[in-house]
Amino acid sequence: MSGSKIDTKSLLQLVKQATADGKITASAADNIEIWLTEDRYARYAEQVAEHITSEKWKELDDAFWTIIPFGTGGRRGKMYPIGSNAINERTIGESAQGLAEYVKETVSGDLSCAIAYDTRHRSREFAELCARIMVSNGFKVYFLDDYRSTPELSFLVRFKKCSCGIMVTASHNPPSDNAVKVYWSTGGQVMPPHDKQIIDRVMNVQEIPLGVEFDAAVADGKVVICTAETDDAFINAVQQQKFDGPRNLKILYSPLHGVGASAVMPALAADNFKNVAIFGPHKEPSGDFPNVPGHVSNPENPAVFDAIIEQAKTDGSELILATDPDCDRVGCAAPKTMDVTGEWGTFTGNQIGVLLADHVLSERKKGGGLTPEHYVVKTLVTTEMVRRIADSYGVRTCGNLQVGFKWIGGTMDAEGPDKFLFGCEESHGYLVGQYARDKDAAVAAMLLAELAANCKQEGKSLHEKLESLWWQHGYHAERLLNQKMPGSEGMANMQKLMGKFREAPPQSVGGLKLTAVRDYQNDTITTPDGKSSPLNGPKGNMVILDLEDGNYVAVRPSGTEPKVKFYMFSYVPAEQLSLLDAAQEEMEARLDAFEKDLVAFADSV
């Protein structure tokens, strides 16, 4: 078809017939027509036409059945050269252009943007594209010219006092995906009121200016390569969060084929950990994530650690750390006892948060710097054990937050960063210090190493340390269940399910009676007798089912993937603990019962 005029009328007739035959959805047909007929999509019309004439209806339906949302943090999805529901040059370009338009309208003075990227396929290409668009809009761009972490991008925004920032990464998603995360001048992901205003600009982008080539912009000083300078300043900021103590620990670290070696290794070295090795099979930066289970580099998945643990048992390593592809989340494994050749176990995100909270607060208390004005921050779906630990040290907890680390960053600025001690979320995200407004696996890895070294000196394992905290604060067990609901039908079912939880919730879960429904979308608390009262909570599409004896379940649709998330929480107060093993078995059985009932409820929609 190259070189010939596209017969739009005939192509649209083929699309109409395919819709009638059930080969594509009506919404896909509507978006295909837009890409075939509107001038802003002219450069893609030939590719769309080739798909139609080749009858690639499944590919077309996947790529066009909806418009990939620009959520409150950015745009994430499967890469495909064309399509409104795919990550490609157009949808990435719209994201950068929409951001540029809004910042120009909102910010006075010189404009600048920080840009970084991870090891995924096309990440460098998309980063250069974003840089060209921002320069074409009159921005100076500060560019990290190699694979770097998301928290380093957050740091760079603050370091260079940028108007905004763009990180090209899809975090721990499969190799097929990519994304952009958008940052405000605070170094945090965009928040209200900016988020909705940016979304509006993104969805209405017409022209995407590309008036300058990347290399030419570098030569002209409009794109400033600042990698080495930023690396030094970032690692210096991370190591300022360290605490004194023993460093006699052998560590095995995995970047899971991502950017992490650029941040974690220098951070550990700056904290004087000398015996650190990178796990060879995961060392290579690769967007295919070839040597991890299912090619998904997610430290939340215990299976990621299996091969690393086998090496640790043979080489005498005493702690395993692993970070996701953009190095903003950290996972951890350690031997159950002091015998490194014996049984090992991983930690959940909540458990790592508990260990780090106690470590930071304990060390700060030793320094005599804790006051009642100091505070920790967590989200509503992060374990309440963090709050109980904070209470024991006499500091505040800001915990009435929706899911997403941007709310933790926003709370730091609202409450005053000078009194901020620690922020965490259950999905393995942690921050200590004021240098960034996003979670940072480098600082978390450094502090976990310190804690493990302290424990070793005391003759106990990290797992034994966690057990001692359970005895002190009560046994807490949490579990996350992801209920996948893919496709256009899945999105409709997600909405139906959330509606059912609000209007006709289960009266018991796992044998425990429902005591209240907290609806964060409608700001209400409703009891089983139908009485409602106002809810003092952050607005969001989430429902929490309060159950007997301090147990509860949170339900929310994922903001980035087609699934509903169930967060389950069980609890035995410290004064009721007699046998820890028995409590663990009882709570695991309770969580099993929760899961069974929640799946059945979701399947009934």
pLDDT, position 2 = 40
Q: Name the helix (H) or strand (E) containing 409.
A: helix 405-415
**Percent of the chain scoring above 70 in pLDDT:** 98
Is the predicted pLDDT of residue 3 greater than 50, yes or no? no
pLDDT of residue 561: 67
Contact 102, 197 (CB under 8 A): yes
150, amino acid identity: T
DSSP H helical ranges for 263-379: 264-270, 306-315, 349-366
Query: What digits encode the pLDDT tens for the residues 271-294?
Result: 999 999 999 999 999 999 999 999
Q: What is the pLDDT of residues 373-385, one digit of tens each?
A: 999 999 999 999 9
Identify the residue whose tokens are 């099979």: 281
423 beta partners: 377, 431
Residue 22 tokens read as: 């059930």
Cα–Cα distance list, 27 to 36, 199, 339 (Å): 14, 20, 59
Q: What is the pLDDT of residue 1?
A: 42
**What pLDDT is attached to residue 132?**
98
Of 171, 297, 427, 461, which one is the catalytic site residue?
A: 171
DSSP of 478-489? EEEEEEE--HHH
> In which band, very low, low, confident or very high, does the pLDDT at 70 lie, cut at 50, 70 and 90?
confident
CB 119 within 8 Å of CB 110: no
Mark whether 558 is an active-site residue: no
φ and ψ of 311, to 5 deg: -70, -40
228 pLDDT above the threshold of 90: yes
Owner of token pair 């054990």: 385
What's the length of the chain? 605
DSSP structure string for 28-89: HHHHHHHHHH-GGGGGGHHHHHHHHHTT-HHHHHHHHSSPPP--SSEEEEEB-SS-TTSBSH
Decide: 443 and 267 in contact? Cβ < 8 Å.
Answer: yes
User: For residue 367, which of 242, 246, 273, 271 has the smallest C-alpha distance?
Assistant: 242
**Residue 347: per-residue pLDDT:** 98
364 pLDDT higher than 50: yes
Classify strands 177-184 and 251-254 as parallel, antiparallel or unpaired: unpaired
Q: How many CB atoms lie within 10 A of CB 476?
A: 21
> What does the pLDDT average to over 450-478?
97
* The 3-state secondary structure of 170-218, one letter per residue: CCCCCCCEEEEEEEECCCCECCCCHHHHHHHHHHCCCCCCCCCCHHHHH
State the DSSP H helix or E strand holding residue 569, giving kind and residue range, or none if neither.
strand 563-572
User: Considering all CA atoms of the chain, what is the largest pairwise distance in Å, rounded to the nearest integer?
Assistant: 80
List the one residue out of 322, 467, 302 whose CA is nearest residue 385.
Answer: 467
Q: For 199-217, write each residue's pLDDT tens digit.
A: 999 999 999 999 899 999 9
Residue 262: what residue type? S
- The set of residues, in sequence order, having a beta carbon less than 8 Å from that of 429 and lying 6+ positions away, is 328, 329, 349, 405, 439
pLDDT at residue 73, as a whole number = 75
Reported as a single tens digit per residue, the pLDDT across 35-53 is 999 999 999 999 999 999 9
Candidates 182, 184, 190; CA nearest to 107 is 184
Distance CA 573, CA 399 (A): 20
Q: Other CB atoms closer than 10 Å to residue 59's CB: what's the count?
A: 16
Q: In whole numbers, what is the pLDDT of the chain averaged over residues?
A: 95
Which of 444, 388, 445, 438 minimizes the C-alpha distance to 408?
438
Which pLDDT score, from 0 to 100, does residue 74 have? Answer: 85
Q: Does position 319 have pLDDT exceeding 90, yes or no?
A: yes
Q: Which residue has the tokens 């509507």?
A: 30
What residues have CB less than 8 Å from 280, skipping those under 6 apart?
none
pLDDT digits (tens, 9 = 90+) for 235-245: 999 999 999 99
CA angle 419, 423, 428 (to 5 degrees): 165
Classify 554 as helix, strand or coil: strand
Whether omega for the bond prior to residue 302 falls within 30 degrees of 0, making it cis, is no
Residue 441 has pLDDT above 50, yes or no: yes
| Mean predicted confidence (pLDDT) in 119-145 | 98
CA 267 to chain centroid:
21
Number of H helices, E strands in the chain: 19, 23
Tokens representing residue 392 in the block = 């024991």
> What DSSP designation does 222 have?
S
Q: Give percent above pLDDT 90 in the chain.
A: 91
Query: pTM for the full model?
Result: 0.95
* Residue in the structure block whose two tokens are 């407004």: 437
| Measured CA distances, 184 to 96, 169, 194, 468, 557 (Å) | 13, 17, 8, 41, 25
- Range among 12-26, 475-489, 554-568 with highest mean pLDDT value: 12-26
Measured distance CA(527)–CA(521) in Å, rounded: 16
Tokens for 475, please give them: 């046994």
- 560 pLDDT tier (thresholds 50, 70, 90): low
Residue 544 zone, left/alpha/beta (φ > 0; ψ -120 to 50; rest): beta
